[in-house]
Amino acid sequence: MCPSRVAEGEERGWIVPIGGAEDKEMRRRILKRFVQLCGGRDADIAIIPTASKLPDTGQRYEELFDRLEAGRARSIGFASREDGERDDYLRQLETATGIFFTGGNQLRISTIIGGTPAAKLIRERNARGVHVGGTSAGASILSDHMIAFGKEGSSPRAGSVRLAPGLGLTNRFIIDQHFRQRDRLGRLVAALAFNPFVVGIGLDEDTAAFIRPDNVLEVEGSGALTVVDAGDLQFSSMADVGQNQPVCLLGLKVHILVAGATFDLNTRCASPGTLVDDKN
Amino acid sequence: MCPSRVAEGEERGWIVPIGGAEDKEMRRRILKRFVQLCGGRDADIAIIPTASKLPDTGQRYEELFDRLEAGRARSIGFASREDGERDDYLRQLETATGIFFTGGNQLRISTIIGGTPAAKLIRERNARGVHVGGTSAGASILSDHMIAFGKEGSSPRAGSVRLAPGLGLTNRFIIDQHFRQRDRLGRLVAALAFNPFVVGIGLDEDTAAFIRPDNVLEVEGSGALTVVDAGDLQFSSMADVGQNQPVCLLGLKVHILVAGATFDLNTRCASPGTLVDDKN
């Protein structure tokens, strides 16, 4: 899927992937910032809990956003491909100032919503300035190429990752979430080894990338965001090795960013920005 | 500890850190190559099982090297600091063509042998051409700065690693072993963040760096060797953050090497070399 075209004079909405397990009780830095971004008391947030099999996930996020004083937060229960064409659901997406995907299994989102009018509308709304965020599975789904599943905790191997098409709000990066908590560097690097065009973004839990319309991302939350940039790769043996052999990859660039730091997806330059002092 | 000076016209012995759990039953690529390096049927290998608390570790490696047809393989039971001055033990080190440290706890090696005549002699013998290898804890101990312990599976934090002085055969790198199996990237990167002078070498299990006298390392074994080079680091927040905050590090270079690939510790250049096809 390719992102919708942003019309001249307009600005794309922010794209906000979150690494999962975002703080929901204490400082709630990430969710709070998302609410503010969407307009605070004027926000109208459409929650899409489709990734989750739990019946109360949508309601839970409605309450979370309510407590953060979002103007309005209502979930849309896309449960089948037919739902992706329902007028009332589409109308809700049309008036929303922000769209939020919960966690669960990203293949539930891609198989239920992928290719429906709802998916197309989400891309179009984002191109018209509506902000789209998602946590865990909801973060993975945002990009064009998505990690469907993969092996954790090993050196990169050809067989260690499976990609699938995502919603395609951007094709600049591949997201992986619960990044350090589930030891996913190997599979993210394997994903990049197929085609170093994209940048790899590994999000720790309670950590988010707030990606501005100009494609500069700002880090928020208590963990780290690992950028893996294979753009200057000197060598990859990916095409020659067996599924279970480790892949030889020379010349990866890695940045570890924390809250306040930025990364420019256009120029691939990282900056410490104004690092947030969390000691107080 | 600094490496002993190599006299003019002489060559340092190879240094061979192994990531632990090296294959001992099947192809035994690493141990076989170590035996050949030390002279094969003319080899005289001194095994130092001090890291291990198991009483039969020394004998076990004697049998392993015997089965690989090493000329002679005898363990030296350094068990106290006094043992580090025993004439018979020192004589055994003096005649050895290779010295091998088993796994266990690297702090047992550093606290028992560190600073004794035995430690000094091992450095001197290495400078005179004797090859020194070690697996797991025995790999960590080889370098000047050693990871004593650290937290696994998190993004780099100031408090995630503790360094201690090692045997000091080289000061070019810091080793970490069982690298991907125990998810140690964060702590290795934290170690480098203190001082980007050294190169980080993460060794997977059954994977070794055969470091030549000219400081070019050759990878051997079935896993990957991850080189983390902080030499061009743009930014580190290590000096400013609390113990448990993640560290911001921009501009790390990472290479993932497999059997046959090389890395030059002088120029910090990686090469795929002649990749070994393991499919057959």
What is the DSSP secondary-structure string of B22-64?
---SS--HHHHHHHHHTTGGG-EEEEE-TT--STTHHHHHHHH
Report whether A238 contacts B272 (CB < 8 A). Answer: no
Q: How confident is the model at residue A279 (pLDDT cuts 50, 70, 90)?
A: very low
Looking at CA atoms only, how far is residue B251 from chain A in angstroms?
5
Using a pLDDT cut of 90, give the percent of chain A over it: 68
ipTM comes to 0.76
Give the pLDDT confidence of A220-251 residue by residue, as tens digits: 999 999 999 988 888 888 888 877 888 899 99
Q: Look at residues B222, B221, B217, B227 and name the one whose alpha carbon lies nearest to residue B262.
A: B217
User: Would you call B25 an interface residue with chain A, using a CB distance cutoff of 8 Å?
Assistant: no
Report whether B102 contacts B49 (CB < 8 A). Answer: yes
CB contact (8 A) between residue A185 and residue B185: yes
CB contact (8 A) between residue B255 and residue A252: yes
Return the CATH architecture of domain B15-271.
3-Layer(aba) Sandwich (3.40)
Label the pairing between strands A131-135 and A98-101.
parallel
Computed over every residue of chain B, the mean pLDDT equals 90
Cβ contacts of B181 on chain A, cutoff 8 Å: 153-154
Q: Which residue of B has its CA nearest to A230?
A: B254
Q: Which residue of A has its CA nearest to B277?
A: A241
Q: Which of A153, A180, A189 sits opposite B154 (nearest CB)?
A: A180
CA atoms of B192 and B213, how far apart (whole Å): 24
User: Would you call B19 an interface residue with chain A, using a CB distance cutoff of 8 Å?
Assistant: no
Give the pLDDT confidence of A93-131 residue by residue, as tens digits: 999 999 999 999 999 999 999 999 999 999 999 999 999
Q: Which of A183, A253, A275 sits opposite B237 (nearest CB)?
A: A275
SS3 A161: strand
Computed over every residue of chain A, the mean pLDDT equals 90
Worst-scoring range by mean pLDDT, A85-94, A263-272, B139-148?
B139-148
152-181 in chain A: CB under 8 A from chain B = 153-156, 179-181
Beta strands in A136-268 (DSSP E): 145-150, 161-165, 173-176, 199-203, 207-211, 216-221, 225-229, 235-236, 249-257, 262-264
CB contact (8 A) between residue A181 and residue B153: yes
Residue with tokens 């090297």: B65
Cβ contacts of A21 on chain B, cutoff 8 Å: none
Q: What is the largest CA-CA distance in chain B?
A: 55
Return the CATH architecture of domain A15-259.
3-Layer(aba) Sandwich (3.40)
CB contact (8 A) between residue B251 and residue A270: yes
| pLDDT of A280 strictly over 50 | no
Could you count the other beta carbons within 10 Å of the beta carbon of residue A262? 18
Beta strands in chain B (DSSP E): 15-18, 44-48, 72-75, 98-101, 131-135, 145-150, 161-165, 173-176, 199-203, 207-211, 216-221, 225-229, 235-236, 249-257, 262-264, 269-271
Give the pLDDT confidence of A53-109 residue by residue, as tens digits: 999 999 999 999 999 999 999 999 999 999 999 999 999 999 999 999 999 999 999
Residue B255 annotated in active site: no
pLDDT for B35 equals: 98
Q: Which residues contact A55 (CB under 8 A, 6 or more apart)?
A: none
Q: How confident is the model at residue A275 (pLDDT cuts 50, 70, 90)?
A: low
Worst-scoring range by mean pLDDT, A57-61, A193-197, B37-41, B234-238?
A193-197
Report whether A176 contacts A204 (CB < 8 A). Answer: no
